[in-house]
Amino acid sequence: MFTKILIANRGEIACRVIITAKKMGIKTVAVYSDADKDARFVLLADEAVHIGAPPSRESYLVAEKIIAACKKTGAQALHPGYGFLSENAEFAKRVEEEGIVFIGPKHYSMAAMGDKIESKKLAGAAGVNCIPGVNSAIESADKAVEIAKDIGYPVMIKASAGGGGKGLRVAYNDKEAFEGFTSCRNEARNSFGDDRVFVEKYVEEPRHIEIQLVGDSFGNVVYLNERECSLQRRHQKVIEEAPSPFINDATRKAMGEQAVALAKAVKYQSAGTVEFVVGKDQSFYFLEMNTRLQVEHPVTECITGLDLVELMIRVAAGEKLPLTQADVKRDGWAIECRINAEDPFRSFLPSTGRLVRFQPPEETMFASDTSKWHGVRVDTGVQDGGEIPMFYDSMIAKLIVHGTDRQDAIAKMREALNGFVIRGVSSNIPFQAALLAHPKFVAGDFNTGFIAENYGKGFRAEDVPHSNVEFLVALAAFVSRRYLNRAASISGQMEGHEIRIGADFVAVVVGQESNGNSYPVHVDDFNGQSRSAVLSVGGQQFRISSDTKFGTIRMHGTCNDEPFTAQVERGTVKSPLAIRVIHNGTQLDVMVLSPRSAELHALMPYKAPPDMSRYVLSPMPGLLVDVAVQVGQKVQAGERVAVIEAMKMENVLFAASDGVVGKVLAAEGESLTVDQPIVEFV
């Protein structure tokens, strides 16, 4: 067994590998860029080596620097994680040639299966059903359009070395094919150093189901059941679960056996995943093979009771697989939510900056610990006060739950999301909560087009209807009443002017489309010692009890004897007097006023925000890589204005209406902040 390994990656996956290595008594080496010098994975590792500037092409994609770090520290093996160089066959070969063990498949297996084009050719030769397309690199955007016409729209334009949704576009017409080819090529070059792109038919209403497998150097390969990964937004997975609520045992067995046969054909060893497109009738087609550990591997670990990172390390060290196919179990149901730094209410634009608060829900299962199941687990590469940089992907954490069945897992996930506190950057938690509550998701009735169909016009606050808004109002009133009680107990108050607390209040909702909605609230049986009260709101009665301390955002308690978790904080930037309540994805800002104060508040004039319609604003922090217009140019609605690069993705800004460019306010190469003006129209 190795005594020291280097992790050629960053963030969450670097932390994940370090945790298992420590369990096995193996020392670890981290490599880091300037942007990651204070990152959690650097602190967790036994040693750390600086490898360059923040852009990945100057650090995490530079093979020479990573190999040099191995030699400098005496690391005997290298774990590539996922992304970056993890599926680069040439890198794996060079690592092995330098006498360092690559904790992953052999380079020849990776070359055959990791390359999207070559793997399709091999699968076709092996008699596996493949989706119609052109399995060779396309040289130009014009050629891509020509091929797309021959195949028939819609088509999928995909980078050969792509992964994680990078370098992938779906085109429904010639214009989208032309622009998609260019964007895919640029993203693939920047993220993977390989700009080859191919085109294939896009199968509509498909399920995306993948088979996890692991092989050793003795020719043994087993499949570890499947993962359902159909909930995707722009081809990036949002929620994954295991097993799939769709396929039956016969299909599961057939898919697993086909995946194993494919792996054995290329002498595959280590962990890998074979992805399939599955039709309504449970017919399935080979899509690609990911020759690495997947982001969503924890759900497989939950239902099988295995540590996949440990299996990878043991196989790389020359050990035999410790289990046969008959030993693989399927226990309970696991769900993973990817918690990303993006604003779902602003078209999911990236959100970078400092994590002013990062308080995950309490963990009862842990990465690499195979003794605890049926609980909550958080895999993350960040910590309280850490930074979300603009140079890498947007993932903050992975929230994983394991339940006895699917409904139990959904309930656990909703409660865990309620207790996940993130401040300083926006996150997609409200969107995750909406998906988990959607009747079709709960019923298991969805495919890869689910998010586009249900949230095609974007995600809005009203897309997360709360089952009981009065409960949120009651929570705000309860917290307000506790604060009043504390204020009334302060000594030294002027005689005759002490704080007097009545029983009747008016709760006014502020800052939303429901701005100004008010609810009469009556408080009975308030007990400052037991921290409980009975509140009447809108004809409903709520007996609330909670001993959560003042200033704590995450609130636990009971309502009518049922436990709840919510987030409650006093004072927001827009409304310092309001109490903000967040529960099941819904956010409500409530001012709890005396009846007289509510009358006066109703007379306050509404201050309209300034008109910024003449400007094209940067919707996110990022690098301005292209300004497509000039002063004096006439621009039509929908015309390309600028391109911003953030978190390895190109984001194209279009004109919202016709106009003439008056000023260009930002230059190419400039780092932009949120809402910074780029172009002004006259």
Burial annotation 278-312 (CB, 10 A radius, 16+ → b, else e): beeebebbbbbbbbbbbbbbbbbbbbbebbbbbbb
Give the CATH number, domain containing residue 667.
2.40.50.100
- Strand runs labelled E in 364-451: 376-380, 387-388, 395-403, 421-423
- Tell me, yes or no, whether 586 and 649 share the same domain: no
Amino acid letter, residue 363: E
Structural domain contains residue 291:
yes
What is the Cα–Cα distance from 204 to 201, expressed in whole angstroms?
9
The helix or strand, by DSSP H or E, that contains position 223, with its residue range, turns out to be: strand 221-233
Both structure tokens of 114: 């990791």
Structural domain contains residue 295:
yes
* Alpha helices in 152-219, H assignment, sequence order: 174-192
Evaluated on CA atoms 147, 150, 155, 160, the torsion sign reads negative
Q: Which among 201, 218, 245 is the end of a domain?
A: 201
Instruction: List the one residue out of 623, 185, 194 whose CA is nearest residue 390.
Output: 623
- C-alpha 675 chain-centroid distance: 23
668 belongs to the catalytic site: no
- Tell me, yes or no, whether 229 and 184 share the same domain: no
- pLDDT of 515: 61
Domain count, the chain: 5
- C-alpha 665 chain-centroid distance: 33
Pairing of strands 284-290, 270-278: antiparallel
Amino acid letter, residue 562: E
Query: What is the value of pTM for the model shown?
Result: 0.84
- pLDDT of 512: 61
- pLDDT of 631: 94
- Tell me, yes or no, whether 339 and 410 share the same domain: yes
Q: Which among 86, 103, 120 is the end of a domain?
A: 103
C-beta atoms surrounding 99 within 10 Å: 9
Domain of 158, in residue numbers = 132-201
DSSP 36: G
- Tell me, yes or no, whether 170 and 83 share the same domain: no
- Tell me, yes or no, whether 444 and 514 share the same domain: no
Structural domain contains residue 109:
no
- C-alpha 104 chain-centroid distance: 24
- pLDDT of 514: 55
Q: Which long-range contacts (CB under 8 A, 24 or more apart) does 374-380 make?
A: 374/332, 374/402, 374/403, 374/404, 375/401, 375/402, 375/412, 376/400, 376/401, 376/412, 376/416, 377/298, 377/302, 377/401, 377/402, 379/12, 379/15, 379/16, 379/298, 380/12, 380/15, 380/40
Structural domain contains residue 401:
yes
Structural domain contains residue 652:
yes
Residue 133's Cβ-side half-sphere holds a number of Cα atoms within 13 Å equal to: 29
Query: Residues in the chain, how many?
Result: 682
Q: Are 221 and 214 in contact (CB under 8 A)?
A: yes
Mean pLDDT by 10 residues, the chain (682 residues): 98 98 98 96 98 95 98 98 94 97 96 79 77 82 93 88 78 94 89 86 87 97 97 92 96 94 93 92 89 97 98 98 97 97 86 91 95 96 90 92 98 97 94 94 94 87 82 96 91 86 92 74 90 94 95 95 95 82 93 93 76 86 91 89 83 86 93 91 88
- Tell me, yes or no, whether 577 and 545 share the same domain: yes
Give the CATH number, domain containing residue 295.
3.30.470.20
Q: Which among 446, 463, 480 is the end of a domain?
A: 463
What is the Cα–Cα distance from 37 to 39, expressed in whole angstroms?
6
- pLDDT of 513: 55
- Tell me, yes or no, whether 240 and 301 share the same domain: yes
Give the CATH number, domain containing residue 512.
3.30.700.30
Helix (H, G, I), strand (E, B) or coil at 530: coil
What helix, strand, coil percent values describe the chain, rounded to 5? 30, 30, 40
- pLDDT of 407: 98
Both structure tokens of 377: 């687990």
- Tell me, yes or no, whether 342 and 402 share the same domain: yes
Structural domain contains residue 607:
no
Q: Are 218 and 224 in contact (CB under 8 A)?
A: no
Both structure tokens of 416: 């865990």
- Tell me, yes or no, whether 311 and 381 share the same domain: yes
What is the Cα–Cα distance from 507 to 600, expressed in whole angstroms?
13
- pLDDT of 462: 74
Structural domain contains residue 115:
no
Catalytic residue among 288, 296, 336, 569: 288
Rounding to the nearest 10 degrees, give the CA dihedral for residues 58, 64, 70, 74. Answer: -140
- Tell me, yes or no, whether 84 and 142 share the same domain: no
- Tell me, yes or no, whether 73 and 153 share the same domain: no
Residue 626 pairs with which residues in a beta bridge?
Answer: 643
- Tell me, yes or no, whether 306 and 426 share the same domain: yes
Instruction: List the one residue out of 82, 467, 144, 69 whose CA is nearest residue 296.
Output: 82
Structural domain contains residue 474:
yes
